[in-house]
Amino acid sequence: MLVAASLLAGCGFTLRGAPALPDDLDYVLIVSARQHAPLKRALVNQLDIYGLEGGTRTNVAPVERQLVISLAPEQLERRLLSVYSSGQVAEYELIYGVNYTVTFPGFDPVSSYFEVLRDYQDDPDQVLAKSRELDLVLSEMREEAADRIIRRLSTQAARLGTGQ
């Protein structure tokens, strides 16, 4: 047990907690091309969960003390995985593409892209239930995307060498 702990400590492993953002940042501003983008709402909720001050209000903090996350419109694709013997689609792979830009004060914007994937089984006999299930799956994918964006902030800050 002691050997495993020392090996993990030696390689730089640390437990994930709240992202470490530079101390000189007061606010995380979230900007989106669409006013009521679902990913923007999910991101605001995740900021609250992580205990970070942020949202969509401008003029809350001086420009030199705020981090800006600019969200591009979300992308959702379906890839066919399997079909029933009747030719109807049985299973899809949902691909939720997230493209965003982070701007730390005094640095050039950093653009990032990633995908969140889920398998989704379709049943033509359960159209209403499957429609509701699809909405729930998409909501979970947005929450995962928002969580991933926030967790990446500390890594991006470290790469830029901002004042941590």
Q: Provide the mean pLDDT of the chain.
A: 84
Q: Is residue 10 part of a domain?
A: no
**Is 11 domain-assigned?**
no
Span 121-138, average pLDDT: 81
- Name the pLDDT band for 164 (thresholds 50, 70, 90): very low
For the segment 22-51, the average pLDDT, to the nearest whole number, is: 88
Query: What does the pLDDT read at residue 104?
Result: 92
The band of 17, judged by pLDDT with boundaries at 50, 70 and 90, is: low
On the question of pLDDT at 157 being above 90, the answer is no
Give the model confidence (pLDDT) of 38-93 as tens digits. 999 999 999 988 888 888 888 778 888 899 999 999 999 999 888 888 888 889 89
Q: Which domain holds residue 48?
A: 19-160
pTM: 0.79
| Residue 26 placed within a domain | yes
- pLDDT on residue 131: 81
- Indicate whether 1 belongs to any domain: no
The size of the chain, in residues, is 164
Q: Is residue 141 part of a domain?
A: yes
Please check whether residue 8 lies inside any domain of the structure. no
Backbone angles phi, psi at 126, to 5 degrees: -125, 55
Per the structure, the count of domains in the chain is: 1
The predicted-structure confidence for 98-122, as pLDDT tens digits, reads as follows 999 999 998 999 999 999 999 988 7
Domain of 62: which CATH number? 3.30.160.150
Strands 66-71 and 75-83 come out as unpaired
CA–CA separation, 158 and 164 (whole Å):
8
